Amino acid sequence: MEKRLLGNSGLEVSAMGLGCMRMTFGDAPIGNKQDMITFLHKAVERGITFFDTAEVYGPYTNEELLGEALQPFKGKIVIATKFGFNLLSDKVGRDAINGTDSRPEHIKEVAEASLKRLRVDALDLFYQHRPDPNVPIEDVAGAVKDLILAGKVRHFGLSESGADLIRRAHAVQPVTAIQSEYSIWFRDVEEAVLPTCEELGIGFIPFSPLGRGFLTGKIDETTIFDKSDIRYNNPRFTQDAIKANQAVVDLLNRIAARLAATPAQIALAWLLAQKPWIVPIPGSRKLERLDENNGAVAIRLTGEDINEIDDAMAAIKVVGSRY
């Protein structure tokens, strides 16, 4: 597996990361614990060194899973986790989230709890999960800076933050990585966030790099989602939207056929080709899907390929908002 540096931070990770949320949260049925532990071990064997989790996934169970599964690889891998939500202790899943909470004292409480669940001495990468309108970003960055000085956190990250917040946070504590949604069919970050990352030397981590599965080509208008599935009420996954957006998959299929690849691999290769400091984190729970995603690292899209994709996407109107 190739490695990539996240901006100027010196943090080196595998060129393809692994989003772990769906192992314990988001869809039913969730992964069987022992199966997921075996899967995570196989991921490490295949060269994955970058794993993404959060306290809210479960809540807590995702961090606990990674802590148990990845303990034998301590020092050889990077685990990113997140803070920033107010969780109701008597609720599970999405019902547990009761708004944002990035008060400095709460950040430090979350850090201590995450350290225990992940069974590590320091959190490799600690993201603010979502901006908190009630707490100045300077206070957030200052709290993480304190944790870094105390040796409890190694790197600071932000998720779904705009360019202004990134600059303000970075002025207090250098930001190592920004995580936001980015894919061939959702490119809002190209306007201001990616240029800011490039200017400041910050890595970028696209979540949902496969459009929540749509860009794999495995979904069509006959697909039925369970009510527990995060796509059940998503505007981009209505029958009409799926049918209208088929043009995106047709484009990926065209490029994939030419390069003896799959649509998912082309979508991931396109992201990797954008900047050398971009590291996608597709979510997976099956070994064959993991191997397929990892195969994208070896695909080299030419300038002509990139232009063809960009020109075609410019003529396609993606139907449905992302949430």
Tokens of 117: 């669940």
Strand partners, 153: 123
CB atoms within 10 A of CB 6: 28
Query: Does the model's pTM come out above 0.85?
Result: yes
With 70 as the cut, is the pLDDT of residue 28 above it? no
Tokens of 194: 């990616």
With 80 as the cut, is the pLDDT of residue 312 above it? yes
Give the phi and the psi of residue 177 in degrees, each rounded to 5. Answer: -150, 145
Q: Distance between CA 306 and CA 73 in Å, rounded?
A: 37
CB atoms within 10 A of CB 227: 7
Average pLDDT, the chain: 95
Give the phi and the psi of residue 322 in degrees, each rounded to 5. Answer: -75, -20
How confident is residue 122, by pLDDT bands cut at 50, 70 and 90? very high
Residue 57 annotated among the catalytic residues of the structure: yes
Q: Distance between CA 221 and CA 104 in Å, rounded?
A: 46
With 90 as the cut, is the pLDDT of residue 26 above it? no
Tokens of 167: 């600059």
Distances (CA, A) of 142 to 103, 104, 163, 173, 317: 11, 8, 18, 7, 42
Distances (CA, A) of 191 to 82, 143, 221, 287: 25, 29, 31, 35
Q: How confident is the model over 294-307, as pLDDT tens digits?
A: 999 999 999 999 99
Tokens of 302: 């030419």
Q: How confident is the model over 181-198, as pLDDT tens digits?
A: 999 999 999 999 999 999
Distances (CA, A) of 62 to 54, 117, 281: 7, 9, 15
Q: Is the dihedral of CA 16, 219, 193, 101 positive or negative?
A: negative
With 80 as the cut, is the pLDDT of residue 94 above it? no
Range scoring the smallest mean pLDDT among 28-32, 121-125, 161-165, 206-210: 28-32
With 90 as the cut, is the pLDDT of residue 319 above it? no
Q: Which listed residue (57, 60, 127, 182) is catalytic?
A: 57
DSSP character string of 144-204: HHHHHHTTSEEEEEEES--HHHHHHHHHHS-EEEEEEE-BTTB-GGGTTHHHHHHHHT-EE
What is the per-residue pLDDT for 233?
A: 87
Helix axes 303-314, 263-274, angle to 10 degrees: 110
Share of the chain above pLDDT 70, in %: 99
With 90 as the cut, is the pLDDT of residue 225 above it? no
Q: How confident is the model over 48-91, as pLDDT tens digits?
A: 999 999 999 999 999 999 999 999 999 999 999 999 999 987 78
* CATH 3.20.20.100 given to domain 3-314: yes
User: Helices (DSSP H) in 220-297: which residue ranges?
Assistant: 239-244, 246-259, 263-274, 287-295
How confident is residue 232, by pLDDT bands cut at 50, 70 and 90? confident
